[in-house]
Structure formats: C-alpha cells, structure tokens
A and B are shown apart, each in its own frame.
Chain A
Amino acid sequence: DQQVKQNSPSLSVQEGRISILNCDYTNSMFDYFLWYKKYPAEGPTFLISISSIKDKNEDGRFTVFLNKSAKHLSLHIVPSQPGDSAVYFCVNAGNNRKLIWGLGTSLAVNP
C-alpha cells in the first residue's frame, strides 16, 4: 500500500510553460516533505523541501505547495526548461526521519 502516491507516471510540458507535479499522501504523521530529481544513471538529487508547519516554499523557479487538509502537495516549475527533464520523486518523512518515496513522475520538457 503506497503511503506516497504520484498518480501521474509521466508529464510532458512545453519549454517556458509551467510544470505541475502532484503528490498525495496517507500518513498524517509525516512532518517533512521533499522533492528529489533523478537523471538517468545518476542518484537522486535533493531539490526542495517543506515543513508541515508551512504551506509554501519557494526556491528560484521551484515552488512546493502543501495542503495538509487534503494531504496533497505539488511542485511547480516555472518557467520549465529542457534541463528539467528528469524523474521527480515526492518524498515524505516522519519524525523518525525515515524517508518514504513515491513511484516518481517522469517530466519531459520539450524545446
């Protein structure tokens, strides 16, 4: 049973447009949420995070939104660039700091 659900296995976006990646979770004990990005043949790299006490965190072109009542978070990338093409993992963590990963969403940004 997936505690972290990324229901879209893939997403295709035009360069310059906004990319929105979604994630739903089931465990209300999660207190920290992260997004990791993974290129082929490389390990995941940390992208952005948000604490459960916040509803938005922004870092350059990347913004993560958290809706605790809906148990939903999303990652917005604007403007999208071809170099953003990668697999994006939604990751949740509880106070035991164990990371629970979603299945990932493959983003393709087309020039």
Chain B
Amino acid sequence: DAGVTQSPTHLIKTRGQQVTLRCSPKSGHDTVSWYQQALGQGPQFIFQYYEEEERQRGNFPDRFSGHQFPNYSSELNVNALLLGDSALYLCASSLGDRSYEQYFGPGTRLTVT
C-alpha cells in the first residue's frame, strides 16, 4: 500500500521563475492538502483540494495555486518565485471526513537563489 509520494525531492530555482510540485495521495484517500514549512517553523497550511476543487486556503498570495486531478493526485504551482519561498513543501492526504488525521509525504525541498 503506497503512502503519499512527492516529486521532486529537491529543487533549485532562481528568483522570478515558476515551479510545479507534484503529489500522489495515499491509496484510497481523496483529499490533498499542501503545507509550507520554513526552517525552524511548523508547517503552514497553503490550501486543500477535494473533488478537484480548492476547498480551503491559508494566508498565501495568489502566486500559489494548485490543481487536483481525477485520480486525486495534485500539483502545487508557485509563480514569480521569491527568496522567501525557499522551504520544505509538504503534501498530506486524507479521506473526506477524517481530514483531521492527515498522512504526509516526505516533502519537496525548494531552494530559491
């Protein structure tokens, strides 16, 4: 039973560029949430996708956007990268009403130079 997978594991980008991060949820899960974790901080909620729609959003600018596909996998897109976007990006999956208990992937480490 595959857990949550994320790709790529590491990424280096330049300021102003755009990036796409990918996530496949745990088998049987239909909800995907994305988090940003800066060094020394707890994860900060970016947004959540369910039934291919953004259901909730944290305090992140419109440069952060996402998508969920019919197979429940998801993408996180960040445009016009800033140095401050350097962080670990975590994807978590859950099953509908049990969304309090989320299963996390290993994350994608994004470095913006």
Where the two chains meet, the residues of A that have a C-beta atom closer than 8 Å to any C-beta of B are 4, 32, 34, 41-46, 49, 89, 93, 96-104
| Interface size, B (range) | 20 to 34
Contacts of B45 in A (CB 8 A): 98-100
CA distance A97 to B58 in the complex (A): 12
Contacts of B105 in A (CB 8 A): 43
CA distance A43 to B89 in the complex (A): 10
Asked if B106 contacts A41 (CB within 8 A), the reply is: yes
Minimum Cβ distance to chain A for residue B92 (Å): 7
CB nearest to A45 among chain B residues: B104
With A43-B90, A43-B105, A44-B90 already in contact, the answer to whether A98 and B42 are too (CB < 8 A) is: no
Contacts of A32 in B (CB 8 A): 100
Which 4 A-B residue pairings sit nearest by Cβ, starting from the closest? A43-B104, A101-B42, A44-B104, A46-B101
Minimum Cβ distance to chain B for residue A22 (Å): 15
B76 within 8 A of A: no
CA distance A96 to B23 in the complex (A): 23
Minimum Cβ distance to chain B for residue A96 (Å): 7
Asked if A43 contacts B107 (CB within 8 A), the reply is: yes
Minimum Cβ distance to chain B for residue A44 (Å): 5
